[in-house]
């Protein structure tokens, strides 16, 4: 496996004064499912379009499989793209859409037909050959777009929020299918999405982007458990932020004073220096426990009152006000639902190992 299959070297893309992509460097492995995740306007789509060749970088170089493609037009690049709106040619039928990109590959008629047949069965579109775009459902269009790109056997498949237009049920289905497909054909996928759930459930690695820069690049579980900064912690999943400041260091632990709660000794994974005043403690809703009685075997167990609940089926969210803190915390529980545990007094318990220390910037 080539560790540097795609090399993005100090790429910047400016639109006038706007730095859509600001000095980004990434290495993507061969056969990897790589996601670019971020809110709209973060530069993820611009980066993808730079890879496809629809935009040229203001600065920096782009290499795919060792070849410098920085100045190559889209038709000369070993990449193919699945567009957000699928961009199925409306004037030709499904099979002609799929054959559209084959003409330039110089294949024989037999090879051509074989590839089309293979890819049709891969995306399960047999029997739809003669249909036109307006006779297909959203999911089917997405499959045509996928087939049309895959039939050319690109080195890299670029996907621009391909599941965004589908309804939830179909999206979940397509997530699994896309993942399986990618594993079975082994093509490198670069996947752009604003949906953090989608990114962390499908990808090998995720680059979280904001304001043209990469905030964190790691495996999904790392992103969730060990976010590098407040943006990542906030963007990936739900979390609660409590303000505080650090005191003395003890090796890889540090004393932290959490506002109105007192002093605690917690992990200092990001190596924050002692006596920093702008500190935020991130605690995930599911890491906390809600109960009627005080939990003496937990590190912290605070009296609180439930303000509101929302029921999700597999879990229930409780919005609680901890006594002494002027802030509503979100606690989720699979154990209790909002019928057994409605408004009223309760205790919220936290383990010190679940407190992630982040610096405000």
**Is residue 361 part of the contact set for other proteins (CB under 8 A)?**
no
Q: Are 326 and 198 in contact (CB under 8 A)?
A: no
Q: How far is the CB of 131 from other proteins (least distance, A)?
A: 16
Instruction: Confirm if 191 and 202 have CB atoms less than 8 A apart.
Output: yes
Q: Determine the distance from the C-alpha atom of residue 9 to the mean position of all C-alpha atoms in its chain, rounded to a whole number.
A: 22
Minimum CB–partner distance for residue 54 and other proteins (Å) = 6
Q: Which of 18, 67, 71, 105 binds other proteins (CB under 8 A)?
A: 105
Q: Does 132 bind other proteins (CB under 8 A)?
A: no
Query: Can you tell me which residue has the tokens 């045509």?
Result: 144
Write the CA distances from 124 to 92, 93, 120, 121, 321, integer angstroms: 19, 16, 6, 5, 51
Closer Cβ to other proteins, 106 or 344, answer by number: 106
Among 44, 152, 171, 317, which residue sits at the site for other proteins (rule: CB under 8 A)? 152
Stretch touching other proteins by CB under 8 A, among 38-46, 76-84, 281-289, 296-304: 76-84
Kindly tell me which residue out of 30, 39, 54, 234 binds other proteins, with binding defined by CB under 8 A.
54
Residue 155 near other proteins by CB under 8 A: no
Query: CA-to-CA distance for 166 and 172, rounded, in angstroms?
Result: 9
- Nearer to other proteins by Cβ, of 20 and 288: the residue is 20
Residues in CB range of 246: below 8 A, 6 or more apart = 254, 255, 256, 257, 268, 272, 273, 274, 275, 276, 279, 357
Residues recorded for the chain: 361
Q: What angle do CA 130, 134, 139 make, to 5 degrees?
A: 90
Identity of the residue, 54 or 319, whose beta carbon is nearer to other proteins in the bound complex:
54
Q: Exactly one of 35, 45, 46, 80 binds other proteins (CB under 8 A); which one?
A: 80
Residues 278 and 360: beta-carbon distance below 8 Å:
yes
**What count of other Cβ atoms lies within 10 Å of the Cβ of residue 148?**
26
Residue 224 has phi, psi (to 5 degrees) of -75, -45
Q: Is residue 35 a contact point for other proteins (CB under 8 A)?
A: no
Using the contact rule CB under 8 A, the part of the chain among 63-71, 94-102, 289-297, 301-309 near other proteins is 94-102
- Which position has the token pair 């391909």? 162
Among 45, 46, 79, 215, binds other proteins (CB under 8 A): 79
Stretch of 91-99, 242-250, 276-284, 340-348 lying at the interface with other proteins (CB under 8 A): 91-99
Between 103 and 169, CB nearer to other proteins: 103
Residues 6 or more apart whose CB falls under 8 angstroms from that of 204 comprise 29, 32, 33, 34, 219
Residue 17: CB minimum distance to other proteins, A: 17
Taking phi first (over 0 means left), then psi (-120 to 50 degrees means alpha), and beta for anything else, what does residue 66 get?
Answer: left
- By CB under 8 A, residue 104 contacts other proteins: yes
Which one among 16, 66, 90, 251 touches other proteins, defined by CB under 8 A?
90
Q: Which of 31, 101, 164, 351 binds other proteins (CB under 8 A)?
A: 101
Applying CB under 8 A, the residues found at the interface with other proteins are 52-54, 73-75, 79-81, 83-85, 87, 89-92, 96, 100-101, 103-105, 148-149, 152
């Amino acid at each position: 496996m080539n560790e540097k299959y795609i090399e993005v070297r100090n790429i910047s893309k400016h639109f006038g004064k706007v730095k859509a992509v600001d000095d980004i460097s990434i290495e993507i492995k061969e056969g990897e499912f790589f996601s670019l995740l971020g809110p709209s306007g973060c530069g993820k789509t611009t980066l993808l379009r730079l890879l496809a060749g629809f935009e040229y970088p203001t600065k920096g170089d782009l290499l795919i499989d060792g070849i410098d493609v920085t100045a190559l037009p889209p038709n000369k690049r070993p990449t193919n793209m699945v567009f957000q709106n699928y961009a199925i040619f409306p004037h030709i039928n499904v099979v002609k859409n799929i054959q559209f990109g084959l003409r330039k590959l110089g294949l024989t008629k037999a090879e051509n037909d074989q590839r089309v047949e293979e890819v049709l069965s891969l995306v399960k579109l047999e029997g739809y050959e003669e249909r036109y775009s307006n006779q297909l459902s959203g999911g089917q269009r997405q499959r045509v777009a996928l087939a049309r790109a895959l039939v050319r056997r690109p080195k890299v498949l670029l996907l621009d929020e391909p599941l965004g237009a589908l309804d939830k049920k179909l999206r979940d289905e397509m997530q699994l299918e896309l993942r399986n497909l990618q594993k079975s054909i082994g093509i490198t996928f670069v996947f752009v999405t604003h949906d953090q759930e989608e990114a962390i459930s499908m990808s090998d690695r995720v680059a979280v982007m904001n304001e043209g820069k990469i905030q964190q690049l790691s495996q999904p579980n790392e992103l969730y458990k060990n976010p590098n900064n407040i943006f990542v912690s906030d963007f990936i999943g739900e979390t609660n932020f409590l303000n505080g400041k650090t005191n003395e260091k003890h090796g890889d632990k540090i004393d932290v004073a959490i506002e109105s709660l007192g002093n605690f000794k917690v992990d200092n994974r990001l190596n924050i220096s002692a006596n920093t005043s702008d500190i935020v403690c991130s605690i995930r809703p599911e890491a906390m426990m809600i109960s009627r009685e005080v939990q003496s075997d937990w590190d912290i167990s605070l009296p609180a009152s439930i303000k509101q609940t929302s029921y999700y089926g597999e879990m229930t969210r409780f919005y609680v006000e901890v006594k002494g803190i002027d802030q509503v915390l979100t606690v989720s529980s699979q154990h209790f639902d909002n019928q057994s545990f409605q408004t009223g007094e309760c205790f919220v318990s936290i383990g010190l190992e679940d407190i992630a220390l982040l610096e405000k910037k």
